[in-house]
Chains A and B, each alone.
Chain A
Amino acid sequence: MNWEACTPELFFLLAAALLFLAAMLKGPRPRRLHRFVLLIAALGVLVTVAAVRREGLLFAGVYRVDLFSQVFKALFACGFFLTVCACSDLNTIRETRHAEFYFLLVTSTLGMMILVSSVHLLVLYLALELTSYPLYVLVPLRKGEGVHVEAGIKYFLVGISCSALMLFGLALLFGAVGTTSLLEMGRLGPLLIATPIGFIGLMFTLSGFFFKLALFPFHVWAPGVYQGAANQVTTYIATTTKVAAIAILVRMVALIGGPDIHLGLVLQGMALASMTLGNLAAIIQKDMKRLLAYSAVAQGGYVLVGILSGNLSGYAGAIFYAAAYLVTSFTCFLVVVKVASDGSNLQIAQLAGLHRRSPLLATALMLGVFSLGGIPPTIGFTGKFFLFTAAMKSGHFFLVLTAMANVAVSLYYYALIVKAAYVLEPDENLPPIFLSVPAKLLTTTLILLILMGGLFPQYLYEAARAAARVLL
């Protein structure tokens, strides 16, 4: 038994246990707790990065550690670390609940790590539930008026419905091939999805991940939950869970040897609908988090364009885009967290005068939204470029054209955000926003990451290709 291969999982399990203990005890002061969790998260990043080269098939072939899974584990650890970084003023969560808050975050991250390595139907399902249940608790954990409860219930109900669909899909798949091993199922690949039962089973199975990525028609929860949950929880949902969903979609689609004509059509339809609906709905939003929720629906559509192209460049593009999205989306949410320092929801109009209140945050926000909108030289543009090039290689010309038309539409509301931050002036004179030195450092690093990823994509892209090559 090669335990070394799963050091990241063991580390996060240990971290979860420690935080569980902390939650059982009286719980240290919030500031000390935050530092402690920050340390854990930083160590987590190091551990996962150190384990990137590990390989192996564990637990009688249900758990696969390969470059693909390890790269994503590193991304999850980064996502967790970044989210914890944004938690320095956790004032919308009751102080006594802070330890539990971190415990749930760690557990969810652990679930994702297991998820991305599982090549067995049941482990896949269990890992997904392990990822989701902490989030069901985290969403309504916010203090204050009733919106968070509504969001929590909505997230929970839509989530378990999708999870039920998924379970049904898994049952169908098992019924079709008589095995629970995804690897064996993959060997049947094209033959399997050519049968109706295999096709429907696969679609139902995937719906659990469509839900996580908030793709049309599984997107209805997104705006409400984004708005209702505490800013830090939304940050986590909008960054790390998206990466996990992209990972599994890539893994599953690659497993069956790329989409056949029917699956391709369904995915194309979903990509088109997600992009168009997400972008059009985002235009009229006044609340920053709701806007980002609809924008995330559209972003999911772009990723799907890459995944459904079914070639190496497409998978590599999706992996690259997952990393790009993690950085970009987090940057936007960091601005939300910092500007709404009392933890309330941020209206776009409240961004007025940001260029004066905090030039650094304004710059970060501009780069963040332009990266989401795909303007070079940002990492978001490069990511889209890779995705669209891959789709073009598979002959999806009109899909690419529509995606680009969507990009043009999306730039309208992204420009409105920039306008609020740079052009509009607030009615009353608002004080400058105070950023601590670590926060400044973090923001600057994010800005640099967005630009470097756009200007020098070579290393990250080749890494993504190496990870994608494992799948073929």
Chain B
Amino acid sequence: MNIAFATFPFLSTILLACAVGLLLILFIPEDRKGLIKWISLATSGLTLLVALYLFLAYDRVQGGLQFVEKATWVKSLGISYFNGVDGFNLPLLLLTGIIFFTGVLTMWEMEERVKEFFAFFILLVTGVYGFFMSMDLFFLFVWYDVSLFPMYPLIAVWGSTRREYGAMKLFLYLLAGSALILPAIIYLAVHSGANTFNLILLMRPGTFTPFQQEFAFLLLYLGFGILAGVWPFHSWSPEGHGAAPTSVSMIHAGVLMKLGAFGILRVAISLCPEGWQFWSQPMAILATIGIIYGVLVGLRQTDLKYVVAYSSVSHMGIVGLGLSTLTVEGLNGAVFQMFAHGIMTALLFSSLGYLYDRTHTRMIPELGGISRQAPILSTFFVVGSLAGMGVPGFANFWAEIMVFISTLKVYPVLGVLAVSALVLGALFFLRVIQKTFYGPENEKFASLSDLSLGLGLPRLILAVTMLLFGLFPGLMLDVIQTASIPLIGRLH
């Protein structure tokens, strides 16, 4: 096995930066709100820079696992602290950095219990970073749960409509998912006969029998699928999103749901390729139902956050569909879609959050003609929606087209259904844009002020990122390919 050791532990630096930021915040008095925000911003900025550096410095020709860090943790059980970067997690680390940074910026105006909010927020992001970079099953699970439980206080304390219900529902759904994941992980580690939780070692072909792979894959798919919003386990997501405060919605739809999809890819698919093949058709069917269902239900919603939340269900269905095709293009598309959807949905939620903060309503019928008072805000929302519709020029276009092409090859019927749902999806976004941002003006919001420069910045970063990868998709695909080609190669 060829492992390159990094000269400098960049990945641990990310975690350390978060930990230091968290500790600093814990020891600052509650009333120094400005200082707390600046520390959070510095933490997020630092991690974003490191993630960006990793993205640029990753050797695309060599591929494989790079920037590896390894230390024995619990020797007798074969647990090690093992981090690395490959084509799958690199886009997601970058995504986390971007959303973390912009998320802190969007919450710049918050005043209520600032210290606790940012402490929980940073804790959550630490878990997300750790999950994406970890190559050890034990740590993978630890980070997974670390990223989930802060969601509960974040939504229940700082959320809006039906926040306690939404928070509890989300918390229980996601932890029920982890109740399936942990037995599966232990099952795989114990039955490998190698006494290790090291993913690379467990990935060796012939480690597990076909039955073990099919069995474990099912558990892992269901467990992670809950977080990925796979239909019919998605119902926590609209409630949770609806109740969550803006930056939490952003991180949640933008990054956290990817944790589920990435878990399927990293653990279920990588360790149980035969289980993947065995279950690929049901996966494709569930994903297609999710795409169609998300669009249809979203069409009937009047609460803007629910609209975006259901569009997330639909878009995460595209990720699931890509994963189920067993092709390189499908995988590329799925991972690209995780990134693109993360950015897009963060942009939508952040624009909505601003609208809600100023108007105190998210109901489509109550709004209208917002574009006249707040043209910049409207532009950002429209840009996000266009990306969501899959208009060429945005990153989402490439991701979706790759998934659909590979689906049409592998599952023609499902492909046709999914593509037609996408056409409806365009209607879905157009309806919202038309009713909320155009159309007759509502007198109530005549004094609505537009985005200030500071609050416009995070939205701008998100929009530019989407355009950048829309115009130069190769930047991202080069990276993803280094991981997807070997993975598909293992199937044959």
Q: Which A residues have a C-beta under 8 Å from some C-beta of B?
A: 313, 355, 370, 375-377, 381, 385-386, 388-389, 392-393, 397, 400-401, 404-405, 407-408, 411-412, 415, 418-419, 422-423, 454, 457-458, 461-462, 465
A-B contact pairs, 12 of them (CB 8 A): A313-B77, A355-B116, A375-B175, A376-B145, A377-B142, A388-B182, A389-B77, A389-B190, A401-B180, A422-B157, A423-B157, A458-B73
- Bound-state CA distance A355–B117 (Å) is 12
Q: Which residues of A sit under 8 angstroms from B164, Cβ to Cβ?
A: 419, 423
Could you tell me if B168 and A370 are in contact, using CB atoms closer than 8 angstroms? no
Q: How far is the CB of A38 from chain B (nearest CB, A)?
A: 28
Q: Which residues of B sit under 8 angstroms from A408, Cβ to Cβ?
A: 172, 175-176, 178-179
Q: Which residues of A sit under 8 angstroms from B143, Cβ to Cβ?
A: 376
Q: Which residues of B sit under 8 angstroms from A454, Cβ to Cβ?
A: 142
Could you tell me if A404 and B183 are in contact, using CB atoms closer than 8 angstroms? yes
Q: Does B356 contact A (CB under 8 A)?
A: no
Q: Which residues of A sit under 8 angstroms from B172, Cβ to Cβ?
A: 408, 411-412, 415
Could you tell me if B179 and A404 are in contact, using CB atoms closer than 8 angstroms? yes
- Bound-state CA distance A397–B190 (Å) is 11
Q: How far is the CB of A253 from chain B (nearest CB, A)?
A: 20
- Bound-state CA distance A345–B16 (Å) is 42
Could you tell me if A401 and B183 are in contact, using CB atoms closer than 8 angstroms? yes
- Bound-state CA distance A388–B183 (Å) is 8
Could you tell me if A397 and B183 are in contact, using CB atoms closer than 8 angstroms? yes
Output the residue of B138, B143, B176, B190 with the most chain A CB within 10 A. B190
Could you tell me if A418 and B180 are in contact, using CB atoms closer than 8 angstroms? no
Q: Which residues of B sit under 8 angstroms from A389, Cβ to Cβ?
A: 77, 186, 189-190
Could you tell me if B76 and A461 are in contact, using CB atoms closer than 8 angstroms? yes
Task: Please tell me which stretch of B86-94, B146-154, B323-331, B413-421 contacts chain A, meaning at least 4 of its Cβ atoms lie within 8 angstroms of it.
Answer: B146-154
Name which residue of chain B comes closest to A412, CB basis: B172
Q: Which residues of B sit under 8 angstroms from A412, Cβ to Cβ?
A: 168, 172
Q: Which residues of A sit under 8 angstroms from B404, Cβ to Cβ?
A: none
- Bound-state CA distance A388–B182 (Å) is 9
Q: Which residues of B sit under 8 angstroms from A377, Cβ to Cβ?
A: 142, 146
- Bound-state CA distance A370–B146 (Å) is 11
Could you tell me if A418 and B153 are in contact, using CB atoms closer than 8 angstroms? yes
Q: Which residues of B sit under 8 angstroms from A386, Cβ to Cβ?
A: 77
Q: Which residues of B sit under 8 angstroms from A423, Cβ to Cβ?
A: 153, 156-157, 164
- Bound-state CA distance A268–B145 (Å) is 27
Known: A415-B171, A458-B74. A405 touches B179 (CB 8 A): yes
* B167-225 CB contacts (< 8 Å) to partner A: 168, 171-172, 175-176, 178-180, 182-183, 186-187, 189-190
Q: Does B262 contact A (CB under 8 A)?
A: no
Q: Which 3 pairs from chain A and chain B are nearest by CB?
A: A404-B179, A376-B142, A408-B179
Q: Which residues of B sit under 8 angstroms from A385, Cβ to Cβ?
A: 138, 182, 186
- Bound-state CA distance A129–B148 (Å) is 46
Q: How far is the CB of A459 from chain B (nearest CB, A)?
A: 10
- Bound-state CA distance A397–B77 (Å) is 18
Q: Which residues of B sit under 8 angstroms from A419, Cβ to Cβ?
A: 152, 156, 164, 168
Q: A375-B175, A415-B172 are in contact. List 4 more A-B contacts (CB 8 A).
A: A355-B116, A389-B190, A404-B180, A407-B179
- Bound-state CA distance A422–B75 (Å) is 38
Could you tell me if A415 and B152 are in contact, using CB atoms closer than 8 angstroms? yes
Could you tell me if B149 and A375 are in contact, using CB atoms closer than 8 angstroms? yes
Could you tell me if A458 and B75 are in contact, using CB atoms closer than 8 angstroms? yes
Q: Which residues of A sit under 8 angstroms from B183, Cβ to Cβ?
A: 388, 392, 397, 400-401, 404
Q: Which residues of B sit under 8 angstroms from A461, Cβ to Cβ?
A: 74, 76-77
Name which residue of chain A comes closest to B74, CB basis: A458
Q: How far is the CB of B243 from chain A (nearest CB, A)?
A: 12
Known: A458-B75, A462-B75. A392 touches B176 (CB 8 A): no
Could you say which of B74, B141, B156, B190 contacts A376, with CB atoms under 8 Å apart? B141
Could you tell me if B190 and A392 are in contact, using CB atoms closer than 8 angstroms? yes
* B92-142 CB contacts (< 8 Å) to partner A: 116, 138, 141-142
- Bound-state CA distance A355–B73 (Å) is 34
Known: A389-B77, A418-B153, A423-B157. A411 touches B186 (CB 8 A): no
Q: Which residues of A sit under 8 angstroms from B182, Cβ to Cβ?
A: 385, 388, 404
Name which residue of chain B comes closest to A376, CB basis: B142
Q: Which residues of A sit under 8 angstroms from B73, Cβ to Cβ?
A: 458
- Bound-state CA distance A370–B145 (Å) is 11
- Bound-state CA distance A97–B189 (Å) is 55
Q: Which residues of B sit under 8 angstroms from A407, Cβ to Cβ?
A: 175, 179
Could you tell me if A422 and B142 are in contact, using CB atoms closer than 8 angstroms? no
- Bound-state CA distance A404–B223 (Å) is 12
Name which residue of chain A comes closest to B195, CB basis: A393
Could you tell me if A393 and B190 are in contact, using CB atoms closer than 8 angstroms? yes
Could you tell me if B145 and A375 are in contact, using CB atoms closer than 8 angstroms? yes
Could you tell me if B142 and A392 are in contact, using CB atoms closer than 8 angstroms? no
Output the residue of B116, B152, B175, B187 with the most chain A CB within 10 A. B175
Could you tell me if B189 and A411 are in contact, using CB atoms closer than 8 angstroms? no
- Bound-state CA distance A408–B168 (Å) is 12
Q: Which residues of B sit under 8 angstroms from A355, Cβ to Cβ?
A: 116
Name which residue of chain A comes closest to B223, CB basis: A404
